[in-house]
């Protein structure tokens, strides 16, 4: 997968709740980059779409040194980005159309969306692990991508966490059909199609397949799809 190395190699903090991070849904205060550029939180991007996104990007206190960067010709019918933590990066490529919500919680995470991607009513939650989406992807309405279950499940006997956060990586030229979900550790290779309402829970390694079902399995091989 094209951008998997960068996303997978980043450090993944084990703790799901760090001191100083707001609990989900309970931000203490918000820095708005257009109004209060503070604590090294930055927004970069030019053009009308980027200007609109700047207004709907929020850094939750006491977040610091986060960057949201948008490429050329960005278009949206409404995208809200929220970032809680420090040293995180949200990078959106050139010629991207994206509507929905991107939430980042953690430290040193990267959420990267490649060039020429289209996504509508898509929700990305990158908590304690990053998300990488390659170039030329089509993400249909209602798709849900998340890297953490948010709540810890432990094995009672051993005491260790059984559901740690893991990065989600999507290759280039992937079509994710309506209302599908990519959960922690999901990997979708180049050229694949994820079926309607399918749930991807593992890394697949074969390109150009239809992945479908709950949990998703290879349903067809050797396919190509049109936009």
Ligand X SMILES: CC(C)(COP(=O)(O)OP(=O)(O)OC[C@H]1O[C@@H](n2cnc3c(N)ncnc32)[C@H](O)[C@@H]1OP(=O)(O)O)[C@@H](O)C(=O)NCCC(=O)NCCS
Q: Which residues bind ligand X (CB under 6 A)?
A: 140, 177-178, 193, 195-198, 210, 212-213, 219-220
User: What is the three-class DSSP state of 134?
Assistant: coil
Nearer to ligand X, 7 or 180 (CB): 180
Q: How far is the CB of 179 from ligand X (least distance, A)?
A: 8
Place of tokens 């309402």: 197
Residue 10 or 179 with smaller CB distance to ligand X = 179
Residue 216: CB minimum distance to ligand X, A: 8
Minimum distance from CB of 70 to ligand X (Å)? Answer: 23
Nearer to ligand X, 118 or 135 (CB): 118
* Residues 6 or more apart in contact with residue 120 via CB below 8 angstroms: 77, 97, 98, 99, 100, 139, 140, 141
Question: Of 108 and 178, which CB lies nearer to ligand X in the complex structure?
Answer: 178
The label of the residue with tokens 């709907």 reads 56
Question: Considering beta carbons, is residue 130 or 134 the nearer one to ligand X?
Answer: 134
Shortest Cβ 124–ligand X spacing (Å): 17
**Strand spans (E) along 41-172:** 42-44, 57-64, 67-70, 79-86, 89-92, 97-107, 110-113, 118-127, 131-133, 138-139, 144-146, 168-170
Cα 36 from Cα 31, distance rounded (Å) = 6
Do 93 and 69 form a contact (C-beta atoms < 8 A)? no
> Closest distance between ligand X and the C-beta of residue 195, in Å?
3
Residue 12 or 198 with smaller CB distance to ligand X: 198
How far apart are CB 226 and ligand X at their closest, in Å? Answer: 11
State the minimum distance, in angstroms, from the CB of residue 103 to ligand X. Answer: 23
**Nearer residue to ligand X within complex by CB, 47 or 213:** 213
CA distance to 154, 172, 200, per residue, from 144 (Å) = 24, 18, 10
From residue 203, give the alpha-carbon distance in Å to each of 5, 47, 148, 200: 14, 36, 15, 8
Length of the chain: 227
Q: How far is the first Cα of the chain from the last one, in angstroms, to the nearest whole number? A: 20
């Amino acid at each position: 997968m094209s951008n998997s190395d960068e996303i997978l190699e980043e450090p993944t903090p084990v703790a799901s709740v760090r001191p100083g991070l707001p609990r989900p849904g309970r931000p203490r205060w918000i820095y708005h980059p257009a109004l209060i550029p503070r604590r090294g939180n930055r927004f970069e991007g030019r053009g009308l779409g980027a200007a609109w996104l700047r207004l709907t990007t929020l850094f939750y206190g006491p977040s610091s040194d986060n960057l949201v960067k948008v490429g050329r010709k960005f278009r949206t019918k409404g995208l809200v980005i929220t970032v809680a933590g420090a040293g995180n990066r949200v990078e959106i490529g050139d010629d991207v159309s994206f509507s929905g919500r991107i939430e980042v919680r953690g430290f040193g995470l990267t959420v990267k969306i490649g060039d020429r991607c289209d996504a509508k009513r898509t929700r990305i939650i990158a908590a304690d692990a990053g998300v990488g989406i390659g170039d030329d992807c089509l993400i249909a309405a209602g798709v849900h991508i998340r890297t953490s279950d948010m709540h810890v499940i432990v094995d009672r006997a051993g005491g260790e966490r059984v559901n740690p956060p893991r990065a989600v990586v999507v290759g280039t030229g992937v079509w994710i059909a309506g209302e599908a979900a990519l959960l922690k550790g999901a990997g979708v290779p180049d050229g694949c199609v994820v079926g309607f309402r399918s749930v991807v829970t593992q890394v697949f390694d074969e390109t150009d397949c239809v992945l479908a079902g709950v949990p998703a399995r290879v349903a067809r091989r050797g396919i190509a799809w049109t936009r």
